[in-house]
Structures are given as C-alpha cells and as structure tokens.
Amino acid sequence: MAHPSASIPIVATLTREPVVHRFWGGGVFFLGVGFSLGFAAWLVAGDWWDGWAFYPLLRDWHGRVQLLFFLGSFLLGFAMQAGPHLLGGTPPPSRSILPLIFPLWFGGVLWLLPDPTMKLAGQALLTLPFIWGALLLGWGPARRGDPARRLMIALPLLLGLLTMGAGPWLGSDNAEGYLWLLWCGPMIVAVAVAQHLIHQTLGGTLPGKRARAIHAGLWLPAWFSLTLGYGGSRLGLLPVDNGLAAKLWALGGGLWLASLLVVVAATDLVGVIRRKGISAFALAMLLALTMAMAAATLLAIDGLKETDAIIHLLGAGSLTLLILGICPRVGSAFSGSIVVQERWLLLFVSLWTIVAVIRAATAMGWLAQTWSLPGVILALGVLLPWGWRLSVKLLAIRARIPAGGFR
C-alpha cells in the first residue's frame, strides 16, 4: 500500500527568491561528471576497459567531484533554502546566499588544475561557501530561531558545513580523509534533517528532549572520536605503534551505529511505514539509514580495513539515496508539479540500492569486480531519467519567480 501523501503535490508559496534550484542545477551537472568518472574507474577495475593508466586520476577526480561539488551543491542548496525554516528563524536575504555559488564552482575548477598556485587559490575559494553558509545560518536563523532546535538541528548543520570547508585541504586520493569528511560533514547534517523530515513528511514522531539528548550524546563524541583518529594520525600527534588511531575510528563507528539506532527508534520510522504504507520517500529514508548503520558496523568491527566499501555505503548509498528521495519532493513543491511519479521513484530508489550494494560488495571482495558492468548499467538507468526530470523542474522554479522579483 502506498503512503497516502505519496501522490499529492505540495506547492510551496514563494515568499522570497528561491535559491535551491541554482545550487541543485550545478549539483545535477556534477552528478553527471562525478559518477561518470566513478563508473569509468569501476569499469577499469572490472577489466571491462583497459584504462589502468588513467585509473589513479579517475579515482582522485571522482572523489573530489563527488564529495565537494555533487554532495556540496546539494547540501548547500538544501541548507540555504530549508535550513532557516528547520531552525525556526528568519531566512537570510537571497542576495546574501547566491554569491556562494561562484566560489563553489569557480574555486572547484581552479582546485582541479595541476598548477600549485591555481590549486591553492581554488582551495581557498572552495572553502569559502561552506564557512560563509555556516556563518549566515549561525548568525541569524540559529541564533534567533527555536532554542529547542539548536542541539538537534543547528549544531549538526553548522558543524557539518564547517567540516565540509576542510575538504579542499585533505590532499589527493586520500581515502581516510574522504571517509572522515563523509561521516563528520554531510552525514551529521543528513541524519539531523532526516529526523525532522520523517516527522513533517511521513507523520513520524519528533524526538523528545530525552531522545535528542541521547542522540547528541552519541553523535558528538563520534564526531570528536573520528576527528581525533584522522587528524591525530594525519598530523603525527598520535603514536602509530599502539593503534590508538584505529581504536578511535572503531569507537566512532560504534557511537555512530548507536546514534542511528536511536534515530530510527525515536522517529518511529518503521512503525509509520507499517501503519501508513510505503512511499518512495519513506523507502529512501529507511534504506539510507540502514546503509549508514551497515557502514558504521563495518567501521566499528574492522576499523579502516574496508575503507572503500564504507565510503561507498555512505556516499553512493546513504547520501545519494537521500538525494534521490528528497530532491523530487522539494523540486515538486517549488516548481508546482510532480518531478518524478511515485511508482517510478520507488523503482529508482530500489534499483539504486542494488547499485550501492554491488559497489560495496565488489570493494569488499564479496562480488567479482566484473559486476561493475551490470552495476553501471543499472546506475545509468536511474540517474539519466531522474537527473533529466529534476533538471526540467529546476528550470520551472525559475519560471515561477515574479517578473519584478521579490522585494
């Protein structure tokens, strides 16, 4: 049975100039670039293409584009559009938000260049939108908004954006750095936002004061544990021989697993699905949290032995599933029409879950790398129609803006 709200379009009233379509338009473009690089590297690993000479470069650029341009564009777009409302404060003027786009994209281009001076300039520019975004949300909506939401929404949102600002400085093909960035940046934002979306969109339970305190008492130590584990070993502050860094990584994984279990229980997500039926949005939420729990379990048990699998459970799994589920709903509200029909979105979410599982399984050696070809074919079958439909509706958002603009 489908969730009763699944086929009902919700049209947002535009009270200020929307910004989400500008960020997400770039996100769709970088989705194409980043996944194309990743697919090429995956096909090389599966011996479907004799491109081993390009493999290191493909992996490096794939990681950079996916983390900071693809995920960064969608994260900033959602944070700047919906963040103030989730915080219960007054949104900053759109004119103060739109300039974030230029350093994000232009800085990214410079960052990918081989020239050291251009790369340094790109790193500085690419850091700016995340820091600026955190300041805009922290100075206004978080400070003047609902005090009850500061621990649940404001702190993870601001800390996640500030963590993303460190991304350009992690170095090339740095798997541990990418893993730290995923857990401590977009994941803490995604889980915090998911709690509110499960409540507002699906009718789940909004975690009470006790549940919020327990959750914060788990994800905050997890953030510090992973940051100390990565930063301490990277800067040479932790001794290598006693395995302290590995223990901190494993501790962070265990804390993350506990915090995710608290979120699922406190929001009553499974109960909502049982009572009201499944929807693409609910399925995306459930599968995203499940993949995050699988990644946390791997980290807690095996530490960094399965880094590649954990990265793809989070990046290709949890975060991409959330993007697949959330963007059509937000895009429908702002454009005034359905982005992707419910039955198709259910199919896309289901197929993408298979893609993410195949990718993680090949990284762990559970499946042969030759599975990369069917994985890429399935992925293209999801991303091409989904990306096209979202792009069309993002253009429709622009058409809804009054000719004279907003005052």
Which CATH number fits the domain that encloses residue 320?
A: 1.20.210.10
pLDDT tens sequence across 344-353:
999 999 999 9
pLDDT in tens, the chain (407 residues): 455 445 555 666 666 678 888 899 999 999 999 999 999 999 999 999 888 889 998 998 899 899 989 999 999 998 888 888 788 777 788 888 888 999 998 998 898 788 889 999 999 999 999 999 999 888 777 777 777 777 788 889 999 999 999 999 987 668 899 999 999 999 999 999 999 899 988 999 888 888 888 988 999 999 999 999 998 877 766 666 568 888 999 999 999 999 999 999 999 999 999 998 999 999 999 999 999 999 999 999 988 889 999 999 999 999 999 999 999 998 888 888 899 999 999 999 999 999 999 999 999 999 999 999 999 999 999 999 999 999 999 988 887 776 555 54
Q: Determine whether 84 is exposed, middle or buried from the number of CB atoms within 10 Å of its CB (0-12, 13-18, 19+).
A: buried
Residue 25 is assigned to a structural domain of this protein: yes
The packing angle between helices 320-335 and 71-87, to 10°, is 60
> Are the CB atoms for 14 and 338 separated by under 8 Å?
no
Q: Which residue is associated with the tokens 């995923």?
A: 182
Beta-carbon count within 10 A of 96 CB: 13
Residue 172, in any domain of the structure: yes
Could you tell me if residue 120 is inside a domain? yes
Is residue 56 in a domain? yes
Specify the amino acid at residue 310: I
Give the angle subtended at the CA of 219 by the CAs of 214 and 225, to the nearest 5°. 130
Q: How far apart are CA 234 and CA 164, in angstroms?
A: 17
In a domain, 143, yes or no: yes
Residue 5: inside a domain: no
Distance of CA 214 to the CA centre of its chain: 23
Q: What is the torsional sign of CA 99, 104, 108, 110?
A: positive
Which ranges in 203-306 belong to alpha helices (H)?
A: 209-234, 244-267, 269-276, 280-302
Residue 176 CB contacts under 8 Å (≥ 6 apart), including other chains: 230, 233, 234, 304, 307
**Structure confidence by residue, pLDDT tens digits, 319-344:** 999 999 999 998 888 888 899 999 99
Query: Is residue 1 domain-resident?
Result: no
Residue 10 lies in a domain: no
Range of the domain at 91: 20-400
What is the total count of domains within the chain? 1
